[in-house]
Amino acid sequence: MPDGPDCHMRSDALVRLGSADAERFGTTHPNDSSMMINGQSMRLTTLIKTVAARFGLGIFDVRGRYAQDGLFTVHGDHFRADPGFRAAYGRGVQAGHGVDPAFEWRVHIALWAARAGLRADGEFVECGVNAGIVSSAIMAALRWNMVGRRFYLIDTFTGPVITQYSQDEVRDGRATLASQALDAGAYVTDMDRVRANFAEWPNAIIIQGSIPEVLEKTDIGMVAFLHIDMNCALPERAAFEFFWERLSPGAVVLFDDYAYYGHDHQRKSIDAAARARGAEVLSLPTGQGLIIK
Ligand SMILES: C[S@@+](CC[C@H](N)C(=O)[O-])C[C@H]1O[C@@H](n2cnc3c(N)ncnc32)[C@H](O)[C@@H]1O
């Protein structure tokens, strides 16, 4: 885990690896020693896994595997070695003042989604910017100054709006989590810092204000890529509904927390809004959600 505050460092991101899949995914280490149990020889790792499974816990050998940000997989994470990806991810970390949120697969997907968005007409928009980790990675990867489009970056830059949390979200601790993150300095409120981060991209348009109210005051036309990441159902749904008619054919919508652990209220609200528009969200194992219009 990173050692500094950031709103992506969620205490609820820890994953309980509880599944019989432990046997399937765990590899046996060559130095594993054997023990005699009930007269039978049992490898130590097998014994530990068997005991753990009784308690609903899975033990995985994560060496050489992708295991961060609530996602463990034995599948290939080749993109992490790509120099272009490393440079873009590094620019994101730089936006976060060197604090690495350790969510490379999410950024990988965001870069893919943003590139796909380039095939549609219109501007790029991010609702929920904070330090600008994901948006900076995108602009670095896409060489934003060569693209000739605007990237609207919308945020209160005072943190979440606590009064926007529904009763259910409050009951489930979402508002408390947000307040605690705010108190811990996880949300960037220094506008000079925000402006300095995006200064290298003249077409990055910073808009300070609360969604939904601020949206009517913007002059955003057609949209090709929309990233929604506010950790609260009300503004996320409002942003989705506001921009839906403005999305060009082929435009990409990426929800940062659609299926993320503990964010069920956002998913249910977004699902209802999407269904009402004949759309369906692709749920991604990173916790993100994706729509291509
Ligand atoms: C998880 S952070 C965004 C992280 C960012 N996408 C990144 O790449 O690091 C959530 C952000 O949403 C903003 N936010 C929450 N509610 C908002 C609202 N109603 N209007 C505008 N911004 C909001 C917060 O201020 C916070 O900066």
- pLDDT, position 12: 33
Pocket of ligand 1 (CB under 6 A): 7-8, 128-131, 133-135, 155-156, 159-161, 164, 187, 210-211, 229-232, 235
| CA 206 / ligand 1 centre spacing (Å) | 13
How far apart are the C-alpha atoms of 141 and 113, rounded to whole Å? 12
Where are the strands (E) in 76-187, listed by range?
A: 123-127, 151-155
Indicate which residue's Cα is closest to atom 9 of ligand 1: 133
Tell the burial category of 219 from Cβ atoms under 10 Å away from its Cβ (0-12, 13-18, 19+): exposed
**How do residues 36-66 score in pLDDT, each as one tens digit?**
666 667 777 788 888 988 999 888 888 899 9
How far apart are the C-alpha atoms of 251 and 125, rounded to whole Å? 11
| CA 22 / ligand 1 centre spacing (Å) | 36
Ligand 1 atom closest to Cα of residue 187: 27
Whole-prediction pTM value?
0.88
Residue 37 backbone zone (phi > 0: left; psi -120 to 50: alpha; other: beta)? beta
pLDDT band (50, 70, 90) for residue 23: very low
Whole-number average pLDDT of the chain: 89
Query: Which of 11, 111, 156, 243 gets mutated to test ligand 1 (max ligand atoms within 8 A of its CB)?
Result: 156
| CA 28 / ligand 1 centre spacing (Å) | 43
Ligand 1 atom closest to Cα of residue 6: 9
* pLDDT beyond 60 at 1: no
Of 14 and 135, the structure prediction assigns the larger pLDDT to 135
183 by DSSP, 3-state: which?
Answer: helix
What is the arithmetic mean of pLDDT over 20-35? 48
**Residue pointed to by tokens 């023990």:** 35
- pLDDT, position 58: 83
Query: Which of 130, 164, 254 gets mutated to test ligand 1 (max ligand atoms within 8 A of its CB)?
Result: 130
Nearest by Cα to 200 from 101, 132, 104: 132
Nearest by Cα to 8 from 289, 293, 291, 286: 286
Ligand 1 atom closest to Cα of residue 133: 8
Of 58 and 83, the structure prediction assigns the larger pLDDT to 83
Domain ranges for the chain, please list them: 12-73, 78-292
**Residue pointed to by tokens 């280490």:** 29
Nearest by Cα to 27 from 54, 45, 40, 47: 45
Nearest by Cα to 211 from 192, 237, 185, 186: 237
pLDDT band (50, 70, 90) for residue 9: very low
| CA 154 / ligand 1 centre spacing (Å) | 8
How far apart are the C-alpha atoms of 259 and 281, rounded to whole Å? 10
| CA 76 / ligand 1 centre spacing (Å) | 31
User: Cis peptide leading into 160, omega within 30 of 0?
Assistant: no
- pLDDT, position 10: 39
How far apart are the C-alpha atoms of 291 and 257, rounded to whole Å? 13
**How do residues 231-274 score in pLDDT, each as one tens digit?**
999 999 999 999 999 999 999 999 999 999 999 999 999 999 99
87 by DSSP, 3-state: which?
Answer: helix
66 by DSSP, 3-state: which?
Answer: strand
**Residue pointed to by tokens 């409050």:** 170
Dmax (CA) of the chain? 76
* pLDDT beyond 50 at 16: no
| CA 132 / ligand 1 centre spacing (Å) | 10
How far apart are the C-alpha atoms of 114 and 279, rounded to whole Å? 19
233 by DSSP, 3-state: which?
Answer: helix
| CA 118 / ligand 1 centre spacing (Å) | 23
- The CATH code that applies to domain 78-292 is 3.40.50.150
- pLDDT, position 27: 40
